Amino acid sequence: MQLRSYDRGVTVIGGRPFDWGSRTYVMGVINVTADSFSGDGVGFDIDAAVRQALDFQRWGADIVDIGGESTRPAAIYAGAGPVSASEELSRVVPVIEAAARELTIPISIDTYKAAVAKEAISAGAAMVNDVWALGRDPEIAAVAAEAAVPVVLMHNQAGTEYRDLVAEVIGGLRAALDRAVRAGIAEENTVVDPGMGFGKTAEHNLEILRRLHELSDLGRPIMVGMSRKSTIGYVLDLPVEQRVEGTAATVAMSIAGGADIVRVHDVKEMVRVARMSDAVVRGWSRG
C-alpha cells in the first residue's frame, strides 16, 4: 500500500522544514495542567515539563505541543473546563521559555486564546494549535499572521449532530482555511485536523478514521490526534493508562489514511509505530 502522490509543499516551523509527504511527523503532548484527560499532566512543575520535552526529543518527536487548559468535558470530569487567559499564561509561558532554551525541535502552543498565543510565541513557541480553528477568539488569526507562524485548524462543534459527517467536517475545515487566508496567514502555514472526539461520538471518530483519505481534497497536511482517547476506551473497555496498543492501531491507520502528523502522548512507542507504518505505506529500502 502506498499513498497517492500529492504536493502539500513544505512548511517551516521554528526554522525546521516539514516536507509533507516525505514521512509522518510526530507531535508529543505536554499538558501543563493538573487535570489532563490522558493522566499524564505534569501539573505546574516546570522542570518536569522540560524533562518530558527533552525525553520526547530524544525519542524522536519532531515537535512538542504545550497546553495549559484541559479540553476534557467539564460536565464529565470535575475540575475540568476553561481557565482564564492569565491563568493559562502563568502555566505555559514559563515552561515554553525554559523548554525553548533546551530543545532543538520546535514548540507548539495548544490554545484558542489570542492573548495566550501572542505571549507564547514571544516566549519561543513556533506554532499555534487551535482546537476552535480560529473561531472562538477571532483575534488569534491576526496574532498568527503577524508572527508568520503555522497554525493547526481543528474541526470542532458544540454538539454531535451531523447529516453528512465527513462532508461537514471537510466543509468546516475548508471554511477555517478560508478564514485563515483572509486574516493574512499564508496557505503554506496551515495544517488541518478533523478533531477526533471534539463534537463527535466514538462512532463518528471511527468513521472519520476510516475515511481520512477524503480530507486530502483540502490540499493541506493532516494532523490526527486519537492518542489515549475515549473511543479507544469504549472499543477495548480499557482505562486511559492501558490504551497504548489501541493508540498504536489508530496511529497506523491514520498514516495509512494520509496523516502527515500524529499527535501522541506515548512518544517513544508511537515514533516506532510511525516509522514502521511509513515503511509499509510510503516505501522503504535498506540503502
Which residue in the list 174, 263, 272, 286 is annotated as catalytic?
Answer: 263
**What are the Cα distances from residue 235, in Å, to 130, 173, 198?**
28, 27, 17
Q: Are 194 and 212 in contact (CB under 8 A)?
A: yes
Residue 92, all three cell numbers:
505555559
- Please tell me the distance from the alpha carbon of residue 88 to that of residue 66, in angstroms, as a whole number: 11
- Please tell me the distance from the alpha carbon of residue 147 to that of residue 222, in angstroms, as a whole number: 22
Per residue, the 3-state secondary structure of 95-163, as one string, reads HHHHHHHHCCCCEEEECCCHHHHHHHHHHCCCEEEECCCCCCCCHHHHHHHHHCCCEEEECCCCCCCCC
**Which candidate, 195, 227, 273, 265, places its Cα nearest to that of 29?**
265
Q: Among this protein's residues, is 243 annotated catalytic?
A: no
Residue 270, all three cell numbers:
508511537
Residue 246, all three cell numbers:
489501541
Q: Are 246 and 232 in contact (CB under 8 A)?
A: yes
Pairing outcome for strands 10-13 and 16-19: antiparallel
Which residue in the list 211, 229, 272, 282 is annotated as catalytic?
Answer: 229
Q: Among this protein's residues, is 8 annotated catalytic?
A: no
What is the C-alpha end-to-end distance of the chain, expressed in Å? 20
- Please tell me the distance from the alpha carbon of residue 248 to that of residue 268, in angstroms, as a whole number: 11
Q: Give the catalytic positions in this structure.
A: 229, 263
